[in-house]
Amino acid sequence: MWAMALIALAGCSMGCGGGSSHKNSLNPAAISASNVQPVVVNSGPAGNYANGLFTSITICVPSSSNCQTIDGVLVDTGSFGLRLLSSAGGGTLTLSLPHQTGSNGGSVGECALFVSGFTWGSVNTADVNIAGEHASNVPVQIIDPTFATVPSSCKNTGVPENDTLQSLGANGILGVGPFAEDCGLACAQTGSSNPGMYYNCISGSCQIAAVAIRQQVQNPVALFSSDNNGVMIQLPALTGAAPGLSGSMIFGIGTQSNNTVGLAEVFPVNSSGEFDTTFKGQSYPAFVDSGSNAFFFLDSGITGLSTCASNSGFYCPTSTQKLSAVTSSGGPNQTINFSVGNADTLFSNRANFVFENLGGPNPGTFDWGLPFFFGRTVFTAIDARSTPAGIGPFWAY
Partner 1 sequence: MLTGLCALICSLPSFGVLGGDVSSVEVDRVHANASLRVSQGQNYTVHELRSATGTVVREYASASGKVFAVAWRGPFLPDMKQLLGSYFEEFQKAAQAQNRRGGHDPLIIQQPGLVVELGGHMRSFAGRAYLPDEMPRDVQNGEIR
Write out the residues near partner 1 by the rule CB under 8 A: 44, 46, 48-52, 76, 78-80, 112-116, 152-153, 155-160, 169-170, 175, 177, 179, 182-184, 186, 190-197, 207-208, 272-274, 285, 287, 289, 291-294, 296, 301, 310-313, 347, 360-365, 367, 369-370
Q: Is the dihedral of CA 390, 221, 13, 267 positive or negative?
A: negative
The kind and range of the H/E element at 8 are helix 2-12
CB of 79 to partner 1, least distance (A): 4
CB of 313 to partner 1, least distance (A): 6
User: Cβ closer to partner 1: 215 or 362?
Assistant: 362
Judged by phi (left if over 0) then psi (alpha if -120 to 50, else beta), residue 7 lies in: alpha
- CA–CA dist 50, 294 (Å, integer): 9
CB of 256 to partner 1, least distance (A): 28
CB of 161 to partner 1, least distance (A): 9
User: Cβ closer to partner 1: 138 or 261?
Assistant: 138
The kind and range of the H/E element at 296 are strand 295-298
CB of 364 to partner 1, least distance (A): 6
- CA–CA dist 336, 55 (Å, integer): 27
Max alpha carbon distance in the chain (Å)? 59
User: Cβ closer to partner 1: 63 or 192?
Assistant: 192
CB of 52 to partner 1, least distance (A): 5
User: Cβ closer to partner 1: 115 or 384?
Assistant: 115
Task: List, in sequence order, every residue forming a beta bridge with 59; answer none if it has no partner.
Answer: 68, 128
Specify the 3-state DSSP secondary structure of 162: coil
Closest-CA residue to 99 (of 236, 233, 249, 199): 199
Give the β-pairing of 107-114 and 245-251: unpaired
User: Cβ closer to partner 1: 292 or 329?
Assistant: 292
- CA–CA dist 52, 331 (Å, integer): 32
CB of 196 to partner 1, least distance (A): 7
> For residue 262, what are the contacts with CB-CB under 8 A and spacing of at least 6?
none
User: Cβ closer to partner 1: 240 or 285?
Assistant: 285
> For residue 128, what are the contacts with CB-CB under 8 A and spacing of at least 6?
57, 58, 59, 60, 82, 134, 135, 138, 140, 220, 223
User: Cβ closer to partner 1: 17 or 78?
Assistant: 78
